[in-house]
């Protein structure tokens, strides 16, 4: 009988956390029961609840201090300065990119005109305003020549497809000058088109039959030369740097015959 009781007690002890149960009973005996008898536990609980609500309400109603406002304004100013600086940088980069793209588009147009004109160069002397017969004339900063390619759809216009053109450097700009007729008079007025601005160090050079570049055409030692084999153009553009182009001339390396 006693063994059965001990066995059941061991099972009960394993199922129930006896130490925790003992601590709970001690707490009830020494803490809650005396307060229940005195009736003070409700007052203490109400006081604790009121204290928490009062502190919370105080934090909600007290507002911002001057120091907090100053710190907030300082942080806002720093963030605003950073945002304004970033926006200014983006706008500056966008403007620079757009300007560079516009300059590059102008450069492409100018190089296309130069290539088209030089590649259609022909030996066609003309009479200038002074009555002098001239052909291909080249200097360091300008070149004048006759070329084909002037548009005349179906030959409807009473004009030739040849054109007299001049490229020159003037006031740091590359200019294309064309004449309405080949043989001009003092009253003939050419048409000017400004191709590139901010141009510096522009130079034309002319390749002769000996594969030497000359600074003028015809060269002094080859007065009978008609057309150069090629024309080299080099110049510096402000936003794009050094540009060098070489244009081959068709039907070149011939000389005048008596």
Q: What is the pLDDT of residues 40-92, one digit of tens each?
A: 444 555 555 545 555 455 455 556 677 878 888 888 888 889 888 888 888 88
Question: Is 50 exceeded by the pLDDT of residue 11?
Answer: no
H or E, element range at 108 = helix 66-118
C-alpha 12/C-alpha 197 separation (Å) is 104
Asked if residues 123 and 135 have their Cβ atoms less than 8 Å apart, the reply is yes
Backbone angles phi, psi at 179, to 5 degrees: -105, 145
Tokens linked to 116: 């088209």
C-alpha 90/C-alpha 144 separation (Å) is 45
The mean of the pLDDT values for the chain is 78
Class of domain 113-248: alpha beta
According to DSSP, residue 129 is labeled T
Look at residues 188, 169, 167 and name the one whose alpha carbon lies nearest to residue 179.
188
Q: Residue 4: its pLDDT value, please?
A: 47
Asked if residues 256 and 224 have their Cβ atoms less than 8 Å apart, the reply is yes
C-alpha 52/C-alpha 41 separation (Å) is 17
Q: Residue 222: its pLDDT value, please?
A: 84
Q: Residue 119: its pLDDT value, please?
A: 93
C-alpha 182/C-alpha 175 separation (Å) is 19
Tokens linked to 246: 């070489």
| CA 167 to the chain's CA centroid | 31
| CA 235 to the chain's CA centroid | 23
The burial of 225, by beta-carbon neighbours within 10 Å (0-12 exposed, 13-18 middle, 19 or more buried), is given as: buried
Where are the domains positioned within the chain? 1-39, 113-248
Q: What is the pLDDT of residues 209-220, one digit of tens each?
A: 899 999 999 998
Q: What is the pLDDT of residues 157-180, one digit of tens each?
A: 556 778 999 999 999 999 999 998
H or E, element range at 165 = strand 163-170
Which of 53-62, 90-99, 243-252 is most confident?
A: 243-252
Q: Residue 9: its pLDDT value, please?
A: 45
The pLDDT-based confidence of 20 (bands split at 50, 70, 90) is low
- Tracing tokens 């296309």 back to the chain, one arrives at 112
Asked if residues 155 and 161 have their Cβ atoms less than 8 Å apart, the reply is no
Asked if residues 167 and 143 have their Cβ atoms less than 8 Å apart, the reply is yes
């Amino acid at each position: 009988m006693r063994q059965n009781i001990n066995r059941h007690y061991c099972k009960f002890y394993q199922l129930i956390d006896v130490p925790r149960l003992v601590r709970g009973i001690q707490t009830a005996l020494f803490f809650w029961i005396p307060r229940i008898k005195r009736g003070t536990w409700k007052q203490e609980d109400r006081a604790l609840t009121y204290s928490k609500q009062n502190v919370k309400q105080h934090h909600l109603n007290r507002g911002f201090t001057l120091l907090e406002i100053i710190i907030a304004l300082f942080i806002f100013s720093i963030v605003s300065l950073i945002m304004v600086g970033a926006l200014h940088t983006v706008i500056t980069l966008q403007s620079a990119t757009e300007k560079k793209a516009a300059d590059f588009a102008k450069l492409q147009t100018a190089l296309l005109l130069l290539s088209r004109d030089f590649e259609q160069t022909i030996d066609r002397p003309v009479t200038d305003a002074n009555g002098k017969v001239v052909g291909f004339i080249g200097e360091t900063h300008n070149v004048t020549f006759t070329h084909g390619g002037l548009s005349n759809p179906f030959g409807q216009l009473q004009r030739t497809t040849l054109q007299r053109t001049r490229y020159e450097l003037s006031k740091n700009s590359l200019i294309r000058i064309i004449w309405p007729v080949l043989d001009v008079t003092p009253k003939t007025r050419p048409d000017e088109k400004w191709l590139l601005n901010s141009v510096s160090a522009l130079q034309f050079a002319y390749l002769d039959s000996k594969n030497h570049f000359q600074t003028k055409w015809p060269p002094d030692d080859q007065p009978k030369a008609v057309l150069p084999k090629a024309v080299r153009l080099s110049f510096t553009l402000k936003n794009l740097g050094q540009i060098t182009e070489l244009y081959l001339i068709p039907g070149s390396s011939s000389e005048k015959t008596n």
